Amino acid sequence: MKKYFNTFVKTFFFTSIPMLLLSMYIIRVLEINMGYIRVTIGALIISIFISFAIRVFKSEKRKGYVNAILGYIIIIPTLFVLRNIFGNYLFTRVWAIYIIILIIGIIYGIALFIASKKYKTEVDELNRLLLDKENSDDLEEE
Amino acid sequence: MKIRVYESPEIEETEVQIHCKKKDELVFEIEKTLTYFNKVISGKIEGRNYTLIPSQIYYFDSIDNKVFAYTKDKVFEVNMKLYQLEDIFIDTPLIRINKSMILNVKKIKSFRTSINGRMEALLRNNEKVIISRKYVPILKSKLGGKNV
């Protein structure tokens, strides 16, 4: 629970910034007043989902790819929360949300690809070090 | 370096002496390696006590405030905390790999990673253990890498 709360606090901080910018954009460009409480509650709900997705993604239970898929599924409802807060000001077309889900999926996939490549390099190095150590131990034994 | 082994039926305990001009890196390494064999702890199975040497131990795992030592095919309950074991086995191949585990690096067969960045070590007895990213630099240095 403590770990989840730590993730939640960080997520809430980073979620509040784009929420604030989006609200400012709507106020300035569309001249519509956004309710502060509504936006804050929205940011809180979104942070709950995102931090939960992060915890699931990092979880040591289940297989890695299952956690990755679950993490993505958990993130999706945040977009519906976003649509509920900003309504038609941001989502002018009904299908826009599905396009955003797709875009987020692509970004998520790219991020996963980059991360797994980075970790693979690390694991390859560890395997190489392990092999070197085994070889040197064998030589010492001889 | 000369290595001499004297066998005698009268000797009760094996003793190793290092004769050197100066305690350099090589001597330090020899001392460290010998320490690995010298440190023993006791483990319990069904009320019976057994002596465990580090080279037998695959890993220590802490479950519900109890610590267990896993050998190739046996599990011993150890009456010590993980941090105490960490102190005892300092300068040996036994290192902390996550919050609840101490692993013997010499028992690792290979490493692998999964899509969510989780790192696993496959042991010589085909068991899998999870390595926390926090401890990877220490592991790397134990294996002779330059990290840390």
ipTM: 0.70
A132 touching B, CB under 8 A? yes
Using CA atoms, how far residue A126 sits from A94, A123, B58, in Å, is: 49, 5, 18
Greatest extent of chain B over all pairs of C-alpha atoms, in Å: 59
- Minimal CA–CA distance to A112: which of A75, A137, A84? A75
Q: How confident is the model at residue A28 (pLDDT cuts 50, 70, 90)?
A: confident
pLDDT band at residue A138 under the 50/70/90 scheme: low
- pLDDT for the residue B27: 86
For the segment A28-52, the average pLDDT, to the nearest whole number, is 88
Q: Is residue B60 within 8 Å of B68, Cβ to Cβ?
A: yes
Q: In which band, very low, low, confident or very high, does the pLDDT at A142 lie, cut at 50, 70 and 90?
A: low
At CB < 8 Å, which residues of chain B contact A?
Answer: 108, 110-119, 130, 136, 139-140, 143-145
Token representation of residue B13: 């305990």
Rounded percentage of chain A residues whose pLDDT exceeds 90: 18
Contacts of B122 (CB under 8 A, 6+ apart): B108, B109, B110, B111, B112, B128
CA atoms of A135 and B80, how far apart (whole Å): 34
Whether B116 has a pLDDT exceeding 50, the answer reads: yes
How far is the C-alpha of B57 from the C-alpha of B107, rounded, in Å?
8
Confidence of residue B25 (pLDDT cuts 50, 70, 90): confident
Q: What is the pLDDT of residue A50?
A: 92
- B140 in Cβ contact with B114 (< 8 Å): no
pLDDT at B46: 87
Note the pLDDT of residue A119: 84
Residue B148 has a pLDDT of 47
Give the best residue of A123, A128, A140 to mutate against chain B (max B CB count within 10 A).
A123
- Looking at CA atoms only, how far is residue B62 from chain A in angstroms? 16
- pLDDT > 70: what percent of chain B? 96
From A29-38, B89-98, B101-110, the region with the lowest mean pLDDT: A29-38
Cα–Cα distance, A37 to B85 (Å, whole number): 52
Q: Is the pLDDT of residue B55 over 90?
A: no
Query: What integer best gives the mean pLDDT of chain B?
Result: 86
Q: What is the pLDDT of residue B5?
A: 87
CB distance A119–B119 less than 8 Å?
Answer: yes
Structure tokens at A42: 């929205």
Q: How confident is the model at residue B60 (pLDDT cuts 50, 70, 90)?
A: very high
Q: Which residue of B has its CA nearest to A68?
A: B116
pLDDT for the residue B113 = 85
pLDDT of B122 > 90? The answer is yes
Instruction: State how far the Cα of B3 lies from the Cα of A102, in Å rounded to an integer.
Output: 68
Mean pLDDT of chain A: 84
Q: What is the pLDDT of residues A52-78, one digit of tens each?
A: 998 888 887 787 788 888 988 998 898
Count contacts between A and B (CB, < 8 Å).
58
pLDDT at A140 over 60: no
